[in-house]
Structure 1
Amino acid sequence: MLRTFLAVYRAGSLTGAAPSLGLSQPTVTAQVRTLEDELGRQLFVRGARGVTPTPAADELAARIAPHIDALSSVTVGDDPFASPVHLAGPAELTTLRVLPALAGLVASGLRLRVTFGLADDLLAGLAQRRFDLVVSTIRPRGRGFAATPLTDEEFVLVGPRGFTGDPRTAPLVAYAEDLPIIRRYWRSVLGVRPPAGPAVVVPDLRGVLACVLAGFGVSVLPRYLCAAELASGSLVALLEPEEPPINTLFVVTRTEPCRAGPAAVRDALLADAARW
């Protein structure tokens, strides 16, 4: 029950703690209530968005956390991959860069579970202990995260082979309706806002790339994603600014001691990212 209590305390949610414990949410709730009955003290105040620890919970967590964490490390033993590592990140970078970097660990016994999504959602999942580490396109806020810069992605304005028009008036192929990447490029490089709406919206940058190659229009893509097409000439860079827009990506864990498996994944990514 103490391990369950600590997981709920750290996750800030009964539901969020359940996956890391391998328990159902009702079981977690029952164990917390049993512990409260045994101690004769309320540990959490239930709310619509989770639970808030009481001063009694703060005191208990401070007393037991070092011992529970030490016991967990003994339970795992010498096998750093005894439990699956839950990794989350953007679909495109995770597929093309992150997963290939982990091939050696998988060959050594790493069991990996991968989730794709947007940064805000994935960081919320990390806080709720649904993930062990997240590759994030934004620097997380809050003291509960430990973020290490992983790599910089450079953005390039691209069009299909033979494109000769004005990219400022060409049809736009976008990742989302509000043109998140295109809008930034237009403002920083062209000094104007992009047109009101895209011609095509595909919620995956690999799909955006396919549409541009097929001649749908122009778009802004991370250079790593389209480097082969640029080299072959099937895609052309329409501008080459002296200072192209870039975005820093981070590998993020919780600030609590990191298990050996997630730590090995983090270290492998940081080592491999030097060549990205």
Structure 2
Amino acid sequence: MADGLTDLDLLATFLEIHRSGSLTAAAARRGLTQPAVSGQLARLEKHLGQPLFVRGSRGVTPTPRADELARRVGQHVDQLRTALDPEPGLDGTVRIGGAAEFLTVRGLPALAPLTRRGLRFDVVFGLAGDLLASLRAGQLDVVLSSVRPPAGFTAIPLTDEEFLLVGPPLLARTVDPDLLARDPARALEHLPLVAYSDDLPIIRRYWRSEFGRRPRATTAMTVPDLRGVLAAVIAGAGVSALPRYLAEPALAAGSVEQLHHPEVPPLNTLYVVTRGATTPAVDAVVDHLRSRDWGGL
């Protein structure tokens, strides 16, 4: 391999893949693109002369050689990364709230490096309105909000969620491609929906943005968690509109297909929100989140 710092980077990426069981999750934790993570893994495997993971539809499975390597280098790599980190130490606890899906898949892995600098987190999952009310009441310090907050808060745009309309392959085969090109809303209206809630917030927004009308299809299942919505779609219950960061692994695995390809996909801005005077710990969290390359969400 190349110089020592590059060796450390490759091993750090390997450990994130081993610990998460996913190239996508490792990329999020390392702040890299998935192709960059795949390339680093390939370099390490080439150097060792043997594969470290077996690729599957639900992620990667470590080989015995990978398990052995993780046991040997894990603690040492963590210590070296901490020692080489030029950032100063932090102290305090930050109470942060956000949507369970985004925080679980992208937010918490992004915040994990701050714990190595001494910061502690209390995490609250919830809907944007409830979390902003808690922030106003002083019960939270930071909120990652999917809606722009009203006056009285400090809101900084963080990144944009891109929404995709996806369905299982068997249902995708029932869509008439010619009708889809002429009248997509009509071509899709026979497909059952899997919704986040009874008022179809994400699906309704997609239909109004792309088709200029409300969806007419029946709702087969309502699941109050987007990860559950995706699981139901994969199982064949229906179709749904989901953020790219959730749908992309299933798309790559072939578990779902994108049913509609708009010229400009529907976007929703995520904000990092604070209120009133902030502490150095809160400022460090906001700066860390703002400086991160979130890639395509």
TM-score bracket relative to the smaller structure: 0.5 to 0.7
| 1:264 aligned partner, one-letter code | A
- 2-structure distance, mates of 1:226, 1:263: 32
Give the secondary-structure state (helix, strand or coil) at the position aligned to 1:244: coil
- 1-structure distance, mates of 2:120, 2:288: 15
Name the residue aligned to 2:139: 130
Deviation of 1:165 (Å): 2.1
2:164 to 149, 156, 171: 156
- For residues 190-246 of structure 1, give each alpha carbon's deviation from its aligned partner in whole angstroms, at most 9, with x where no partner exists: 233212651100000000000000000111101111111112211100011001111
Name the residue aligned to 1:146: 154
Name the residue aligned to 1:241: 262
- For residues 168-207 of structure 1, give each alpha carbon's deviation from its aligned partner in whole angstroms, at most 9, with x where no partner exists: 2111000000100101111221233212651100000000
- 2-structure distance, mates of 1:187, 1:113: 37
Contact 2:191/2:217 (<8 A) preserved: no
- For residues 55-75 of structure 1, give each alpha carbon's deviation from its aligned partner in whole angstroms, at most 9, with x where no partner exists: xxxxxxxxxxxxxxxxxxxxx
> TM-score, normalising length from structure 2?
0.63
Contact 2:93/2:120 (<8 A) preserved: yes
| 1:199 aligned partner, one-letter code | A
> TM-score, normalising length from structure 1?
0.68
| 1:85 aligned partner, one-letter code | V
2:289 to 260, 269, 273: 269
Name the residue aligned to 2:79: none
Runs of at least 4 residues of structure 1 off by over 4 A? Answer: none
Give the secondary-structure state (helix, strand or coil) at the position aligned to 1:156: strand
- 1-structure distance, mates of 2:270, 2:289: 12
1:232 to 219, 234, 253: 253
Contact 1:177/1:197 (<8 A) preserved: no
| Unpaired stretches in structure 1, ≥5 consecutive residues | 1-77
Give the secondary-structure state (helix, strand or coil) at the position aligned to 1:207: helix
Judging changes above 3 Å, is the alpha-carbon distance between structure 1 residues 79 and 104 closer, same or farther for their aligned structure 2 residues? closer
Deviation of 1:94 (Å): 0.8
| 1:139 aligned partner, one-letter code | R
2:104 to 85, 95, 116: 95
Contact 2:193/2:217 (<8 A) preserved: no
What does residue range 1-276 of structure 1 map to in structure 2 within 5 Å? 80-81=90-91, 83-142=92-151, 144-162=152-170, 163-166=172-175, 167-195=188-216, 197-254=218-275, 256-276=276-296
- 1-structure distance, mates of 2:98, 2:189: 31
Contact 2:196/2:225 (<8 A) preserved: yes
- 1-structure distance, mates of 2:211, 2:109: 35
Give the secondary-structure state (helix, strand or coil) at the position aligned to 1:102: helix
| Unpaired stretches in structure 2, ≥5 consecutive residues | 1-87, 176-187
CA RMSD, 1 decimal: 1.6
